Structure 1
Amino acid sequence: MRRRCSHLLVGATLVTAAIFFTWMWFWKPTSILRPATGLQPGTPSPLLPVRGSANLSDGTYTYHLNLSLFQSEFPLLQSYRCSLTLAPQRARPEGDNVTRPLLLLGIKSHPRSGARRAALRQTWAREGQVAGFWVRTIFLMGESEVSGHMNMVREESRAYGDVLQWDFTEGHHNLSLKERCFLAWLHNQHPRAAFIFKGDDDEYVNPEAVAQYVTEHGGSPVTLHGALQRHANVMRYSKYRVSETLYPLPVYPIFLSGGGYIFPGGSVGPLYEASHTLPVFPLDDVYFGFLALAANLNFRHDAHFYVYGLAFEPCQYRRALVVHGVGPERLLEVWKDVQSARCEEGAAGGR
């Protein structure tokens, strides 16, 4: 009996070992699901898609996002891995600027829009110290099918070191990839950024007004700031069209207009984690609103985010955080007039 038990014990041990080594052969460590830091251009993020269907409620509406429908209509948005082609040079502030909090301006641009970027670099997109912050601008881009545009962007990247480019093709729906991939880049490369302003390259932005605003109103790490859109109607036509099959509700959750908004560095982690679980919505500002809802973040509306434009008056522009719809030639004129304007004390200055 003792010999029989011994044989049974050895047999059970061999079976267990076989199962263990078979499991080890097929098992993949969960760490590969986490993004690596220090990614170089041309290196895709090792993050594997783990997004799924979701039900979200804001207390008024419940939003159901069906992953299979999103995969059917917008497969690239769901499967794309954030592969960099150009990465910005790291900022190297000197002296006491090293300890200043970082205010990062993430500006969506298209490779063809070189004139816009040139105007921004001559005005408000210059790196430097502003009202106690170290301000830096990063241009967020996909790729163009025009080789001349791509060559221009590579030259700009070498000259200014302010381009963050991925290998997806520019397109209206692909703007949502800039949201997702920018969050991943922030999480990996700039975890200590104090605040992030997100905007477009056809805008007037006042970095000093932004810095003063976050100093006064940016105390909460879970509050996002901008022009609030409250349950906006879903459009079933134009480039903003979303099908009823994909999204049957007639309204969207509350979100901030993509023309310009601010979020604190403390919110990047929750937003980044939410991007792992939600399907990527084909409208970038709506997508960011869904991420904020999933991350349980709050909003603060402020009228100084002029996302629909503003008639020019120097002192009013000096108080504005952002004015959308300002072309490159006009921006140079506006900037000069705002800098030389004599305004009432207390108005936010230029740069």
Structure 2
Amino acid sequence: MRRQLILKVLLGSAFMVVLLVDQQQNSSIPSMAPWPSSQKTPTEDPLSLSSRKFEWWVQTPHPLDLRYPYPYPFLINHPDKCEGPRGAPFLLMLVMTRPQDVVVRQAIRQTWGNETLVPGVVICRLFVLGLPQPLFAQELQTLLEEEDREYGDLLQVGFLDTYRNLTLKVLTGLEWMAQYCHTAHYVLKVDTDVFLNPSFLVQQVLQPNRPLQPNFITGHIYRNPVPLRTQGHKWYMPPELYSQNKYPAYCGGPGYVMSSSLALRILTVAKRLKAIYLEDVFVGLCLKQLGLKPTPAPPNTFLMFRKKYDLCAFRRLVLVHHFQPQELLQIWPDFLTANTTC
């Protein structure tokens, strides 16, 4: 049965990609919410609602407009995740993932997502995801629930999982932290297509032995970037959603880390600002509202571009973008020898 489910997921992946591309290109498609605004809580199973193609989409002024704040439910949840015998987490990893990325999540568990990589430091990991696309939704949901029973590390939230809903993923992940893991010292938002070096991040950037930094956020900092106004571009920003000529400084989306106290303040501000679909830019807008700027990381340690693997060079990095799961599995055994080789 499991093999049949996996086969269906793989066969459906191509159709999911086509559907997602069509959603991104069709300006008449509305923003995606799980049920109508007049219905504050679902009266039936949210997954059955999600399987009704387009029925539960809500018309909004613009297809890139997001519904936030909104009571999106946690459909797969682990409220006790941060209450283990090891004590409060020093670092909470919120890994942004798609429902169909079963193989990707497994590769991350076996590499940089291993919660025991940094001796003496408590790390908790959660994969944050939304609802599957309508095609094969029930089969994929069954597979997700089976995966979560085995690993206990999925956090599924009740909105459609699309690139344009990434801001909702990040904000609801922070809401989970505020509700169930407020004792964590730092929160890492990270994508799945990266190489991550948790030891360097913890020991050299966050430094467990120094006092907590209440207004701390760092990553690769973009300073005064210009909004892209070309329709059809992946990062197109319509003037009606953001009219200014420059974005405030922000940390690049593949991975950034912040203190939990700042995460709570960002959540408070986010409820008052108009959410935009570029999540890293939106976090920058929240920082600006708070009168804060990102803290520079050690130079050239958060790389937003592809870099060829080199054992000793990667030992001195936090993050490298554009790494696929098969590459991680290939280099990881070698990378673990860095402390004895370099």
The answer to whether the superposition gives a TM-score over 0.5 is: yes
Aligned to 1:102: 90
Give how far 1:135 is off: 0.8
Specify whether residues 233 and 218 from structure 1 end up closer, same or farther in structure 2 by C-alpha distance, changes over 3 A only.
Answer: farther
- How many residues get paired? 274
- What's the counterpart of residue 45 of structure 1? none
In structure 2, distance between residues paired with 1:262 and 1:79: 23
The residue correspondences of 1:94-133 to structure 2 (distance < 5 A) are 94=85, 97-98=86-87, 101-128=89-116, 130-133=118-121
Confirm whether residue 87 of structure 1 aligns to residue 77 of structure 2: yes
Cα distance in 2, alignment partners of residues 89 and 189 from structure 1: 6
Q: Distance in 2 between matches of 1:89 and 1:317?
A: 34
How big is the shift at 1:255? 0.6
2:129 is aligned, of 137, 141, 155, to: 141
1:245 is aligned to 2:236: no
1:180–1:272 Cα contact (<8 Å) kept: yes
1:339 offset after TM fit, Å?
A: 1.0
Give the equivalent residue in structure 1 for 2:309.
312
* Partner residue, 1:276: 271
How far does residue 331 in structure 1 lie from its aligned partner after superposition? 0.3
**What secondary structure, in the 3-state scheme, does the structure 2 residue paired with 1:300 have?**
coil
Task: Kindly indicate whether residue 198 of structure 2 is the aligned counterpart of residue 201 of structure 1.
Answer: no
Which residue pairs with 1:77 in the alignment? 67
Q: Cα distance, 1:321 vs. partner?
A: 1.0
Aligned-pair CA distance for 1:275: 1.4
Residue ranges of structure 1 left out of the alignment (5+ in a row): 1-40, 43-69, 345-351
CA-to-partner distance for each residue in 1:5-32, whole Å, 9 max, x for gaps? xxxxxxxxxxxxxxxxxxxxxxxxxxxx
Distance change in 2, residues 1:291/1:218 (3 Å): farther
Distance 1:139 1:187 in 2: 16
Q: Which range moves more in the overlay, 185-194 or 207-216?
A: 207-216
Equivalent position amino acid for 1:308 in 2: F
CA offset at residue 195 of structure 1? 0.7
Asked if the contact 2:117–2:199 (Cα under 8 Å) also holds between the matched residues in 1, the reply is no
1:325 counterpart residue number: 322
Are the aligned partners of 2:68 and 2:168 in contact in 1 as well (CA < 8 Å)? Answer: no
User: In the alignment, what sits opposite 1:48?
Assistant: none
1:121 is displaced (CA, Å) by 0.8
Deviation readout 1:72-121 (Å, 9 max, x if unpaired) = 22454336422111113623543xx32x6431111100011111101011
SS of the residue aligned with 1:130? Answer: coil
Report whether the alignment pairs 1:176 with 2:167: yes
Distance 2:330 2:197 in 1: 14
1:200 partner letter: D
RMSD: 2.2
Q: Which moved more, 1:244-253 or 1:177-186?
A: 244-253
The within-5 A match list for 1:14-25 is none
- Name the SS of the counterpart of 1:245 in structure 2: coil
- For residues 196-220 of structure 1, what are the alpha-carbon distances to aligned partners after superposition, in whole Å with 9 as ceiling and x for unaligned? 1111111111111111020178742
Output the TM-score relative to the length of structure 1.
0.73
1:232 positional shift: 1.0
SS of aligned partner of 1:165:
strand
CA separation of 1:286 and 1:76: change in aligned 2, threshold 3 A: closer
Aligned equivalent of 1:234, options 221, 227, 232: 227
2:216 maps to 223
The sequence identity of aligned pairs, in percent, is 25
CA positional deviation for 1:246: 2.4
Aligned counterpart for 2:142 among listed residues 151, 163, 172:
151
Q: What one-letter code is carried by the residue in structure 1 that aligns with 2:223? A: R
What runs of 5+ residues in structure 2 fail to find an aligned partner? Answer: 1-44, 47-58
> Which amino acid in 1 is paired with 2:237?
V
Decide whether the 8 Å contact of 2:66 with 2:276 is kept in 1: no
More strand by share: 1
Distance 2:123 2:313 in 1: 22
Give 1:167's aligned amino acid. G
Deviation at 1:187, TM superposition (A): 1.0
